[in-house]
Amino acid sequence: MPSPLERVFVALGSNIGPRRLALDFALDRLSGSPGLTLVAVSTVHDTAPVGPVAQPRYLNAVAELTSALDPSDLLALLLSIERLQGRDREHSPRWGPRTLDLDLILFGRRIINLPDLVIPHPRFAERLFVLEPLAELAPDLIPPGFSDSVATLRDRLLAASGAGNP
């Protein structure tokens, strides 16, 4: 019996090399993968890096897909796409520059807590570079484990950062 389709959201980021081409490559790979259907893609946001390592600015976006894949299989696919773009997670500094970063943010209504996979992504609600594009696609979505919508989470973070003030 086929797996039921799940609504999933993947965050995309790149700040090394041809950033836009890296995002387009990832979207092409995702849309051409069996068991996945690309539903929508946010606009691309040019964002400042987060973390202690000095590095160039990022291009970030979020893709909405439907998936018949198991969450671990989808994660494996995301990691393989990163590797095809030259990403080496084992030898790269945490929060360092990257050719391509693909994070599984939400997988349907599931809450998953495995050693190599936590869903919802543990820091997505603290990151405007995820919340802003995610809110374009699903502003009214209330992520599992949360009581507020994506738009409310974004607005709260904007207010706290002062970015939402004139």
pLDDT for 20 equals 97
Residue 1 confidence (pLDDT): 45
Name the average pLDDT for the chain: 89
Nearest to 26, CA basis, from 16, 38, 39, 43: 38
Q: Please pick, among 19, 87, 127, 154, the residue that the annotation labels catalytic.
A: 87
Cα(77)–Cα(124) distance, integer angstroms: 20
Segments making up each domain of the chain, as ranges: 6-123
Structure confidence at residue 92 (pLDDT): 61
| 103 flagged as catalytic | yes
Q: How confident is the model at residue 55 (pLDDT cuts 50, 70, 90)?
A: confident
Q: Quick one: CATH architecture of 6-123?
A: 2-Layer Sandwich (3.30)
pTM: 0.90
Mean pLDDT of 90-111: 82
Q: How does 36-75 read in b/e, with b if 16+ C-beta sit within 10 Å?
A: bebeebbebbebebeeeeebeebbbbbbbbebebebeebb
Q: Assign 157 a pLDDT band (cuts: 50, 70, 90).
A: very high
Q: Is the pLDDT of residue 93 over 60?
A: no
Active-site entry in 103, 109, 123, 154: 103
Q: Which of 101, 109, 140, 154 is catalytic?
A: 101
pLDDT at 158 over 60: yes
Encode pLDDT of 104-140 as tens digits.
999 999 999 998 899 999 899 999 999 999 999 999 9
156 is catalytic: no
Work out whether strand 6-14 and strand 101-107 pair parallel, antiparallel, or are unpaired.
antiparallel
Task: Let me know if 24 is a catalytic residue.
Answer: no
98 is catalytic: yes
Query: What is the percentage of the chain residues whose pLDDT exceeds 90?
Result: 72
Token reading at 128: 């405007």
Give the mean pLDDT of 82-101: 72
Task: Give the per-residue pLDDT at 166.
Answer: 41
Q: Which is higher by pLDDT, 83 or 143?
A: 143
